[in-house]
Structure 1
Amino acid sequence: MKVARAYQPDFEKNPLDDWLEFPREEIEETPDYFGDYRDNLISCADKRIRLARWLTWEEQTPEVTKESATGLRYAAKMYASFLKLGINPEQEQTLTIYDLPTVTWNGKGMLAQGYLAPQEWFDAYFLSVITRDTESMNSLADFPIETMKQSATQADPVMYSLVEVFQAYHHGRADYPSVLGRAMKELVDDGDDWSLDIGMGYLETFAALTTNMDIDFNEVLAKNLTLQEKYHIRESGPDRAPVKSFLSLQLLGMACMWHDRGNQVTVEADALPRFLVEGTYF
């Protein structure tokens, strides 16, 4: 089952190498400036995610796939560490992320600055799923939703319900099916494009993964890859590339979970790199 991209970048006007050059330079220089600011945890992670997304347009050589996987592995740890600082903001924490300089930071001011929103949690959690980072996954599953609600950047209430769905499943809560059902109803009632195309895509695919409903996982995954690309094309407008659609962390993470349970991911899509689905470098 092949899912082709609707969007095609104009690489004659803006060569792929130009899109890859800046994040590669920043990543190479990360050890020199990483310890300067706490927010580098997010900015450095985002550069690695952006690079991995553009690398899906490259020929998938061993060098390219390793570069992408390595970047996501660092990004997963950075995101999880950043959110962990927000749980006990007054507490100083010493962080060592692979071979980067060891740093000591706290989470003071993060809520007032509008960090710790649900969308950041979605990215962080599914990055840890993709990279099979169990430690980060467990830490994020324990992140208090009530803390998110204190952030200066307020999200639509249904976003917090989605976080609860993933946390409820992670912890094997007995009420998981009802939590899932309530969140689906909230998305339908909300009715905006994000709720119907993105949020429902998350939960419909997750339901096919985690419940006994008569839903074909691969068919739902393929459908929602297409819907999400259309959403991001609309959201980006005619003058910007829908970069998020190049690699949907949430849908990719669910494909990884499906694979790791011994099932076959039959969807072939550039947005679902096989080496990530199979966890080749993890």
Structure 2
Amino acid sequence: MKIERICKPKFEKVPLNEWLEFPREEIDETPDFFEDYRDNLIKCAKDRLELSRWLTWEVQAPEIANESAMGLRYASKMYAAFLKLAEHPEQDLTFKIFDLPEVTWNGKGMLEAGRAHPEQWLDAYFLAMVTRDSESMNSLASFPVEVMKQSATKAGPVSYKLVEVFQAYHHRQENYPLLLNECMKMAVEQGNEWALGIAMGCLETFAALTTDIGFDFNETLAKNVQLQEKYWMNASEPDTVPVESFLPLQLLGMACMWHDMGNEVTVESDSLPRFLINGTYFK
């Protein structure tokens, strides 16, 4: 089933090449400034994620697909490293991310600065899923939710419960179905646009992926790709492009899981690049 995107950036006003130029320049310069300070981990990860999102508007030639996939590979490692520092704030940790300079930092002050919250964890975990980065997935799956709650940036109870749900499935805990049902109920009770448009959509799609609840995976995925796009369009300020909708990481990660389980992803959407679902550049 083919899904056409509703949101179409006005490239006659700001050409696509201009949207691509800044993250590409930042990525090219990464080796020169990467060691300078700890928060470059998250800055560089976001640059690469932003680039991959805008690249979904390019013709998906092999060189474009490779550029996007390689950027996401780096971003996955960067996100996971950043959250590892927050998990062990007093400990000096050393990271070597592919060809970037080796760095040693600690996470002192990260929780006080609000730098470890559920939204960041969700992006990190599903980005690792997309890139088949099992090392980062395992690290993130062990991140204590209680530590996350110490972050100065607070979230609602549904956000923390979402993390618990995905961690429970990752570890194949017996209480996973119970947590899934609890989180769905909490999302309905919270009742705002985020809870119903993002959280519930992720939960429904994950339930279709991992349980026999009776949801058809592809139908559920297609529905929630469209709902998420509408959510981000409504949540964006006027004249602001809803870039988050260009690559919905949680739904994309679930599509990758469905494919890797030996199933067919029949949903066709520019927001779900086929080379990412197939793991073409991650084998």
TM-score interval, normalised by the smaller of the two chains: over 0.9
Is 1:202 matched up with 2:202? yes
- AA aligned to 1:198 is I
User: Deviation string for 1:155-176 (max 9, x for gaps)?
Assistant: 0111000000000000000010
Name the CA distance, whole Å, in 2 between partners of 1:167 and 1:46: 23
- AA aligned to 1:32 is D
The residue number in structure 2 matching 1:45 is 45
- Report the secondary structure of 1:138's partner residue: helix
Query: So what's the TM-score if we normalise by structure 2?
Result: 0.99
Query: So what's the TM-score if we normalise by structure 1?
Result: 1.00
- AA aligned to 1:255 is A
- AA aligned to 1:217 is F
The residue number in structure 1 matching 2:219 is 219
Name the CA distance, whole Å, in 1 between partners of 2:101 and 2:8: 39
Give the deviation of 1:237 after TM superposition.
2.9
Name the CA distance, whole Å, in 1 between partners of 2:214 and 2:183: 19
- AA aligned to 1:49 is L
The residue number in structure 1 matching 2:268 is 268
Give the deviation of 1:31 after TM superposition.
0.2
After superposition, residues 166-177 of structure 1 pair within 5 angstroms as 166-177=166-177
Name the CA distance, whole Å, in 2 between partners of 1:103 and 1:238: 40
Give the deviation of 1:201 after TM superposition.
0.5
Name the CA distance, whole Å, in 1 between partners of 2:197 and 2:212: 23
User: Deviation string for 1:109-136 (max 9, x for gaps)?
Assistant: 0000001000000000001000000000
| Structure 1: 5+ residue stretches without partners | none
The residue number in structure 1 matching 2:29 is 29
Name the CA distance, whole Å, in 2 between partners of 1:237 and 1:104: 38
The residue number in structure 2 matching 1:82 is 82
Is 1:235 matched up with 2:227? no
Name the CA distance, whole Å, in 1 between partners of 2:117 and 2:64: 31
- AA aligned to 1:215 is F
After superposition, residues 108-119 of structure 1 pair within 5 angstroms as 108-119=108-119
- AA aligned to 1:228 is Q
The residue number in structure 2 matching 1:250 is 250
The residue number in structure 2 matching 1:159 is 159
| Structure 2: 5+ residue stretches without partners | none
- Report the secondary structure of 1:86's partner residue: helix
- AA aligned to 1:227 is L
Name the CA distance, whole Å, in 2 between partners of 1:201 and 1:115: 25
- AA aligned to 1:212 is D
Name the CA distance, whole Å, in 1 between partners of 2:165 and 2:278: 25
- AA aligned to 2:225 is L
- AA aligned to 1:59 is V
The residue number in structure 2 matching 1:96 is 96
Runs of 4+ off more than 3 Å: none
Q: How many residues align?
A: 282
